[in-house]
Amino acid sequence: MKYIDEKNIFRLLDKGKDPPDGAVDEAIDKSLALKRLSLEETSYLLNSRSKRDVRRILEAASLVKSRIYGSRVVIFAPLYINNTCVNNCLYCAFRKDNILINRRRLDMEDIAKETVSLLKSGHKRVLAVSSESGNEGLAEARYYVEAIRTMYGQEYKNSRIRRININCAPLPEEGFKLLKSSGIGTYQLFQETYHGDTYKKVHPSGPKSDPDNRLDAIDRAFRAGIDDVGIGALFGLYDHKFEVLALLSHVEHLERTFGVGPHTISVPRIEPALGTDINETSPYKVSDDDFKKLVAVLRLAVPYTGIILSTRETPEMRDELFRLGISQVSAASRTSPGGYSGEKAGSEGAQFFLSDHRSLDEVIASLIERGAIPSFCTACYRKERTGETFMGLARPGTIKGKCALNALITLKEYLKDFASEEVKEKGNALIERLKEELSDQEKKQLDEFFIHIERGVRDEHV
């Protein structure tokens, strides 16, 4: 697999089992200074097992997340536009040979209905998700573009979708240029596993069986002008320590080649799915404790990169991971085409079974109770703070001030337009409490935005 040096990763993991005196503390201190860790330094953290070291890792991850992003947690929803996949990924219910699920490819009318359903619940950010048709050329790219423009074109009362990211199969460079022209935010693509033999085993047929095409797709997206990309691994397919170092090898490649790494890293963990038992039979299942540490280590290794958590995890796990480095979460998700508007592909059409079934209002309530700011902010995309510009603000932690103000603005909008009375009361109390931490100028600025919200103005930001 290109630029994933397996021998070096295994060497570093072996070396990390016997770190030099003070190596773990030095790595943690480096991260607390908001500097990215090397593969070797990350290996020391991954291999550390003492209670004292693990406690320090978890505590440091919480501090680093706070220093970069403050207490805000960005919320989005996935919108699946089809599940007509031609791949045979052994872990996925969408795999071609699975006869147990209903297949569906949404047309623009369907997509409009799905989008309005999300708007009615209060969502502002969407991740469009597509399976692989086997014909990922310009025609498929045009379908994506039409879907994205349809989503942007919907309105409910005074609310619209403000940012659409997309998770779709690799495209040619011209296809990515079309995506860029549609106004997407982040292009997201997971390698699933970076271990070569495991990749071949779990991807036996279909276009996805070519691992290098998948790796190259991120490069093609950059060359096409998409400077915000998201990568990830499906933890549980292979040893999670290997996957973390491989992910970071991918980060290093992107930084060397394009001057900027991924905007986000996603950390899905294998969950049950219809027609597959790999979540039960895999010898590499990640325990809850190891998963918490994994997330914390990633936060320390790339302090400035967003880390995304899905509704694969239970409410309890998600609530705990908010403080360990997670900066974006999906909420009230459906993983089947048509799953929001009531015209479902059926429960048999879902990609995997969810573990967090809470409504958006309930997720927001949980965040508020923990002192976090639920955020629907999309200001960085509007202000062209993407790619290298965004990282220039994120690396030193100066993005935090903008994040806090914009998160409070979008929370106030949600409370005004969609929240239950209980959440409205708790949310307004949180806003008043957090306002006391702002400067006089910031308080004045925020109050002006709030007056505008009361008057019906929406989608203002700094």
| Token reading at 142 | 């045009």
Q: Is there a single domain that holds both residue 125 and residue 221? A: yes
Residue in 201, 336, 186 with CA at minimum distance from that of residue 266: 186
Q: Is there a single domain that holds both residue 24 and residue 173? A: no
| Token reading at 226 | 């998409």
Q: Is there a single domain that holds both residue 80 and residue 124? A: yes
- If you average pLDDT over residues 63-69, what whole number do you get? 92
- If you average pLDDT over residues 356-365, what whole number do you get? 96
**Percentage of residues in the chain having pLDDT higher than 90:** 85
Residues in the chain, how many?
462
Q: Is residue 461 domain-resident?
A: no
Q: Is there a single domain that holds both residue 283 and residue 405? A: no
| Token reading at 157 | 């009362």
Residue 45 in contact with residue 64, Cβ under 8 Å? no
Residue 70 or 172, more confident: 172
**Percentage of residues in the chain having pLDDT higher than 70:** 94
Q: Over the stretch 204-225, which tens digit does the pLDDT of each residue have?
A: 999 999 999 999 999 999 999 9
Q: Is residue 462 domain-resident?
A: no
CATH number of the domain where residue 199 is located: 3.20.20.70
Q: Is there a single domain that holds both residue 353 and residue 431? A: no
Q: Is there a single domain that holds both residue 330 and residue 373? A: yes
| DSSP-derived secondary structure for 11-61 | HHHHHTTSPPTTHHHHHHHHHHTT-PPPHHHHHHHHH---HHHHHHHHHHH
Q: Is residue 460 domain-resident?
A: no
Residues 6+ apart with CB under 8 A from 315: 355, 356, 358, 366
Question: With helix as H, strand as E and coil as C, how does 109-143 read?
Answer: HHHHHHHHHHHHHCCCEEEEECCCCCCCCHHHHHH
Whole-model pTM? 0.94
Q: Is there a single domain that holds both residue 15 and residue 84? A: no
- Would you give the end-to-end CA distance of the chain in angstroms? 42
What pLDDT is recorded for position 346? 45
Cα–Cα distances (Å) from 17 to 24, 45, 157, 241, in that order, read 11, 9, 57, 12
Domain boundary among 394, 421, 436: 394
Domain boundary among 345, 379, 394: 394
Q: Is residue 1 domain-resident?
A: no
Phi, psi of 456 (to 5 degrees): 100, 0
Q: Is there a single domain that holds both residue 435 and residue 358? A: no
| Domain span holding position 262 | 65-394
Q: Is residue 459 domain-resident?
A: no
| Token reading at 358 | 């809470």
What pLDDT is recorded for position 345? 40
Q: Is there a single domain that holds both residue 439 and residue 372? A: no
Instruction: Quote the CA–CA distance of 173 and 223 in Å, as a whole number.
Output: 7
Please state the domain count of the chain.
3
Q: Is residue 418 domain-resident?
A: yes
Q: Is there a single domain that holds both residue 303 and residue 370? A: yes
- If you average pLDDT over residues 323-341, what whole number do you get? 94
Phi, psi of 439 (to 5 degrees): -70, 165
Q: Is there a single domain that holds both residue 405 and residue 386? A: no
Q: What is the DSSP letter of 328?
A: E
Q: Is residue 254 domain-resident?
A: yes
Residue in 208, 146, 217, 118 with CA at minimum distance from that of residue 176: 217
Q: Is there a single domain that holds both residue 33 and residue 124? A: no
Helical (H) or strand (E) element with 287: none
